[in-house]
Amino acid sequence: MELKYRVISRGAADGLVPFPLVYIDKKDVEACGLSYLEAFQKIAEVFKDDCAAADIIDTDAVTVSSDGIMGDAAVVAFCSIDHGKINKDFGFINVSEHPYYPEIVKDEPHMKQWSSEGFVGKRLYRGPNTEDRGFRNVHNENMTMTGRIANNNTGSEMMNLVEMTEVLVPCFGMNQIMKDGDLLVGVAGAEISVGIGMVVREKLGRIFNWSYGAGQTAHNSGEYAKTVKSDYPAIVAPKPVHAAHVLKALDAGLVVGKDLGCSPVNLAIAHAGGYEIALDNITDRAWVELESVGCKKEDFEKPSPKLSREEIIAKAEEILPGMPTGKLYKSSEIVEKKSIKL
């Protein structure tokens, strides 16, 4: 029996990836009769002379991006590996399924997407709950740590704390990795740096919980927000793929700035398609950050070109801001498929 896994090696994507990133399909873990921690321990044996961040992904589940967009594939466990070890206290976190309850759309309007075609009835995973965290205190960033490696924000932002390197893999990028789709890789840029902070209010969110809602900024750092993550490499979905996810949320009747986070990408797509934007619900602090990357309120007050869904996807490269140095790769060019004999 073999445990299959995917790895993006150190130096992949023309040298941009700073250390190995491992992704394991939940189905492969279950087929081997392993627990999530046992699966990670098997992976750790491969990295006795190196370090890595690793995630287990449920490809039949859904999750939510920081700005409120639902997508396929969810992290169900994540860990940090350093020279064959996983710290017994801080190196691993399980992520429990988030239960449905009748008032969820009232509490979290963006969760209306859970009733959309392709999402309805699927398991939802976001951030770890109190039991998953164990003795860890509640904090904004759900993180594992072993030695030099931190796997942060529920497996989407990984760091080498000694070398001071970092890489971002948002949830739509993970989905592309797991389904062998194309990947856009490059320096994140100022727009993504700002966008990460434009969150929605969630119970047990992947990154933030109840502190900040749509129209607010979780970064709260003024013009500095555009520099927070701007120079880190990012592995994301191609812009047409990302646009399709956002359009699905908008077509469900959700409003940017009220139900969805006011990230530059959400704002750009909503304006291009003539969808409602709750401009006056976006706080002054958020506008300072948005305007620092050229997203000015007056531009969104101008008449929309009212492009169709198809036109927005076709023109996604020019409509969606961010990833100024992004290069498109076939998954097979940077993702290796491997296995471990058990």
How does pLDDT run along the chain (342 residues), one tens digit per residue? 999 999 999 999 999 999 999 999 999 999 999 999 999 999 999 999 999 999 999 999 999 999 999 999 999 999 999 999 999 999 999 999 999 888 999 999 999 999 999 999 999 999 998 888 888 776 656 899 999 999 999 999 999 999 999 999 999 999 999 999 999 999 999 999 999 999 999 988 887 777 889 999 999 999 999 999 999 999 999 999 999 999 999 999 999 999 999 999 999 999 999 999 999 999 999 999 999 999 999 999 999 999 999 999 999 999 999 998 999 999 999 999 999 999
Predicted local confidence at residue 138, as pLDDT: 64
pLDDT at 130: 86
What tokens appear for 88 in the block? Answer: 């017994």
Give pLDDT, residue 102: 86
User: For residue 337, what are its two tokens?
Assistant: 């498929």
pLDDT at 206: 81
Q: How far is CA 279 from CA 175, 196, 283, 313, in A?
A: 31, 19, 9, 24
Dist CA 79 CA 71 (whole Å)? 22
Query: Could you tell me the pTM of the whole model?
Result: 0.96
State how far the Cα of 166 lies from the Cα of 234, in Å rounded to an integer.
9
Phi, psi of 11 (to 5 degrees): 90, 0
Sheet with 165-168: list strands edge to edge.
144-146, 149-152, 157-160, 165-168, 233-236, 183-187, 327-329
Q: pLDDT at position 309, please?
A: 97
pLDDT score of 139:
61
Give the per-residue pLDDT at 141.
Answer: 64
- DSSP structure class, residue 304: P
Buried b (16+ CB within 10 A) or exposed e, 133-148: eeeeeeeeebbbbbbb
